[in-house]
Structure 1
């Protein structure tokens, strides 16, 4: 069970410990599902120790109530904003990237601690001072470069970054919990509210970036959503990695005559260089040509030469059209098949382990190598005590 947090510093993937912290995970999942965390600021950054987020308004907004559980959000009942947090005895703050709900003591029972929406992520190992205060429900499994960027951020005396760091979007892969009454998942991420915009500090690109028009802003939004969707496919196992690029040595040929065969195309295109595979795509049931094909060359330069020389050439009385392939399905299939085979072997069925590492490494050349009324506000403990502990770890 995983959740993707898209932040202004990059993407973070959190694995949820549903077997150990079911109610905490349910609360977090449902808040992500209704996009409650969108535009929540990162704050209370203690270098090599922890940071906190999860309140849509944050500590700079005087009208902030510190955040609410999903049950308080749906009911509007202030008494349901917080709920008792359970601390599993096996879960400790040992590793960097440990994720837990921020808690405060119950007003009438100090042995009970209450959680709402805010959560804490550890930025160092052995942050055991958080044990019993941050109720662990997950672990960061991807995005440690983002944690490092947050850890290195310039902050004020209260640990608030001088340049805004925010959660932009959340995505969940699988939700095992039934939706509470009244929960409606929005069709798209809602824009930030006026109150949230009023809390904005300096944007890291504001100083040197020109003001964007509507078309540019929309393009950037689509690109962010595309990156989030690609990472979701990676998390689901449909892509070997989110930044996978189509191969540069494969041509897409369309507008073929139905009578054109694989061997015909291979013979015609082989004058440009060695061909590794040439396949006319056919209907699975009838075997009829779908009038397009993929041709894989051994050498990229041969692929480029064929692209420039064969555009609009007549083959079997049809003027063909050529483009560079944008498909990554072959790469994904090779990786996925290798992964499944290894899983079967690991399960005792005689073949292959996790990850499809062999095929992933084989195709890694296509990766982009250039590619950041309830409880009080929500601090889980006394701020001075926290700073003293953080200072001791530096």
Structure 2
């Protein structure tokens, strides 16, 4: 009756003494069947002495028998002893290297000691010190070279290997014992170690080296990821792993007089354009001489990229490339008047509505065709009472008919009657 341990250092085949230690062997085999030992670490390795495992917490204080484990898995509050009495057979001794024994826990407070799930494998011959204290129940018959590797691992002052040595998988080669009626085998082996180890992983090589080019690439990727995370935290990126769109072109070296509609007209022959935007200074409204053009399809953007490179537009030879910017995903940086901050949108001219109003006022011009040289009171300015007052210039330029209509309104008639009444009262008091 035997089991196969697949460890990170090699395989171990253990023959069990089922006739002389039936209870101990049944406990060991059933724990193997429920994957209790899978991904367990050898948490205590003493050179030329022993290697201990079987504690899921890897602290030396955990572990339990199969009967206690089964009781803990049931829905009802079933109680079972954590340990069972050790089967110490006098003729089974720690004579040869590879002897497998159950560790016997001492009695602590009211809890009676005994055997649970922890076991150890001797790494040398003739360790008589352990005879009669721990229960021998098996021997390693294949994999002695694996024990040699285990004996040579580097450990800390507590005997824990700096690099984890784990039991990757357990295969039961022969099991003569029937399963307990309430034992439920998990559908699959665990994929994560049961302990929270901070040691070097058992599949990690700390001395492995990469070519200089590969190390530089990894370093750049890590630096880029850190920078992207920083930009996300300060709000410049919507999320750190954002990628630039593949259907947006970046056009630069533009003439300052080139407008959005000019570029859209020129590039529209390659396909449907979703948006075309010349980037402008937020304060002055001047063109920064580059733009972003978003196509409906990626193929259209690729065709425009190959056809429009170094083309003459408004006496300037433009440069076209695929956009590497994700700033357009953040509408707060848009200078498109259709995208606004107030209410539903953010916008204005470079994100400022006051500049947009100024631009519209300049573009409107005067009725005689000449550009406006003065601003005056273009917009109504609320006074202290919350009403709008108009400039004297605007009132003087008003149509006389509108002025009479405004004075004939009920509100103005009431105001005139009030003023007339106050004037008569002052005249009456002065005559007295």
TM-score by length of 1: 0.48
Determine which structure has more spread, i.e. the larger CA radius of gyration. Answer: 2
Structure possessing the higher relative contact order (Cα contacts under 8 Å, 6 or more residues apart): 1
TM-score by length of 2: 0.44
